[in-house]
Structure 1
Amino acid sequence: MNARPEPAEVVITGIGMVTPAGPTSAASWKTVCEGRPTAVSDPRLAGHTVDFSCALTGFDAEGAFGSDARRMALFTQFAVAAAREAVADAGLVDPGGAGQGSAGDGPGGEGNWDRSRTGVLLGTAVGGLDAWQAQGERLLERGPRSVNPLTVPMAIGNTAPAAVAMDLGLHGPALSLSTACAASTTALGFALDLLRSGRCDVVLAGGTESGTIPLVSVGFDRLKALSRRSDDPAGASRPFDRDRDGFVLSEGAAVLVLERARDARARGRRGYARLLGYGETADAHHRTAPDPGGHAARLAVTRALADAGVSASDIDLVNAHATSTPTGDAIEARLVDQVFGGRSAVTSTKGVTGHMLGAAGAVEAAFTALSVHHGVIPATANFGAPDPDMPDIDLVHGAARHTPVSFAVSNSFGFGGHNAVVVLGSP
């Protein structure tokens, strides 16, 4: 019997980000490495018990999209902006041509990018809920004729990948994936499968979210999931800290360009990191609470390691999901201790960015890839004291740690018990 061929290696050749830490990948990375929290009072949430968020600043939608910005929900704006940056960063299109209706001509044309074999996979938890909320308010206040005729195509969850495909002229699969806060890590795993199977040559994978609106904030607060530190928004997101009291809502997007390593090398690209493996499981336990034993989450980690062909002792960095909730962080700390012991450094960038829900996994995978590329592990912001009820993990805090990162894990866990994990390695 013939041996099964080894799966093709996949590399990340482009990164685009729009986050509260910055309107570009470089700006976001700089803020995260400096450990500067981004949570501030949010006028959109004024008058509510939780009146702050990690809001996006410095994002010029009108400059990017002109009058079309008014026809796009925020999560779509974020996704298209991140995708444009990612493909330009990967050298697939000229930065001046991306998104300007000329993506198929000149630099980045069919000579080095077959758009018929390029996919778009984006994760989201709430999609265009900001548009649904705004138009629902119009309906109640001003009647049916006030509702925007474009409400449905603006707000439905598939709009973001469809818009990216249209903006860049991509004709491969364009899919929206929803596994709550694990959604964009799920997208990375599906992208890995598309490339390994040969169904696509390039995949733009990531996530996008615009959930910093009253309906979402109040909903999470009613679940007692949010921090209530309105007197100190910047200090509210405290992953693994003894005094953590909930997460901080955030918004943004990240898109990663994935391609087979041999194809990247053929056009002179080495990539930031390899995407080596993926694991996903379901707790089958509760609508919102994670399994206190962490059994399925641990299985997702071990499956990702097996898929990558590396052992737990090889992992230099764990980018934790760690949202700053009392229960979730404790369960993940025990998982990290059980699987990796004290051998792996641990960080959570949510101390800076807050929790971007369905976009969080892609943003954190992007930061993990940059850690591999630069040999820098961002510190966990707002960490003041360890929780005596949690195991002693090697949490990077106080200042970024400069050290080689050969292999890394990025964890994502979502409501409904969705667990998704990716393993990255140096190219």
Structure 2
Amino acid sequence: MDGTRAGKARRSSRQIRVPVREAADGGIPLQFVDRAGSRPVKRPNGNRSGVRTGYSMKRQAIVGGIVVALLLLAGCAGQGGAADVGVTVSDTGDKVFAGTQYNVSATVANDGDIAANETIELVVDGESVATETVSLEPGAARTVTLTHTFDRGGEYAVGVADWESTVTVFEDPLTDAEAAMADIDSYGTEERWTMDLDISGNVSGEFNANRTGSRRYDRVDETARFERTDRVAILGHNVTTLEEVWYADGVRYSRERVRGESGYEYEASETSFKDVAVAYDLGFEAYDESDGRKADGEEWGISVVNRTEPEIRGDTIVYTADLSGVVTLYQGFAPAGVMSSIDGLSVEFGIDTETRRLTYQTTTMTVDGLRLGNGAVADGTVTRHIEFVEYGEPVEISVPQTVIDETDR
């Protein structure tokens, strides 16, 4: 077609010149150039000044995008990476007393490659109660302790970062134990007595006694049944005694025999259920340490004075107390004998954290100058340990007729 290729039409293109300085009129002096003739075409304002770039608008857009991408990459490279902070909570207790500090230890580690500031927060029932901010260099770790004091007993949801737990707060374990023990109808115990004494005077040697036994009590019917074994080693002689005891209708029945012998010794005596039962309400009342009386001054009794603050051991709340002051009080009017020879007396008892009932009692007595007769005296320790092994189980107690008949003779 007259010297031109079929299917293609020649067309002119326009380029944009980008100036290197501002035009005199303050505008942008762009020129439109006809590539076919490299001939400037006047702008509407007639200004031709400018510099020819040689780039088309399309190529300029591509280059601009590359520049922006390079700048973004350079910015990221300049930051040196990112922080990677993790929080790990060490094993913490889930039981605490009201009015005492509850502590949570958390280790904060920065595994990233830039420094970071991290705020650690202890949350109780959805409320922030303690915070601490730590600064960590890359690869560094730090352990912080967050504390909180619970004012009242109950169960609380606690958390730090992703860690969550439930804390049980005890407000008054002794009062709780009193209430829990008052509701029981029956209970059982396993007991151990040990006595280790050194004898001096007209007779010298060792006296060792060991008693084991079990007891069952029905508080509703006021009946009791227990059996025990006494093993005594004194001055080279060993004796084992077996004893069975029943209590019903205000009478305590017992039969006892020495192991290896067939004959029993029987005994019956009138007494009360309180006298035969284990005293599980040991020292729960408040006492005046100055004279050993109860705070209301109405009655006397053994008191838990000089009591230490309770501590939690596993599932048990443990109390310990020194009763030596009360012993000294009683020595003032007690006859010469066991009471006056007691040099020290302490007690420890445990309360189950779930049921709030007693789990054990341990009483330790130190004696000094205990008179045994014939001019002999003894020094040493006596320990009684009682474990409460069951509550609320039926107690079947029936005094054998042969025991009743033998004691009636």
TM value normalised by structure 2:
0.22
Relative to total residues, which structure has the larger helix share, 1 or 2?
1
Higher strand share goes to which structure?
Answer: 2
Question: TM-score, with normalisation over the residues of structure 1?
Answer: 0.21
* Larger Rg over CA atoms: 2
Larger relative contact order (Cα-Cα within 8 Å, sequence gap ≥ 6): 1
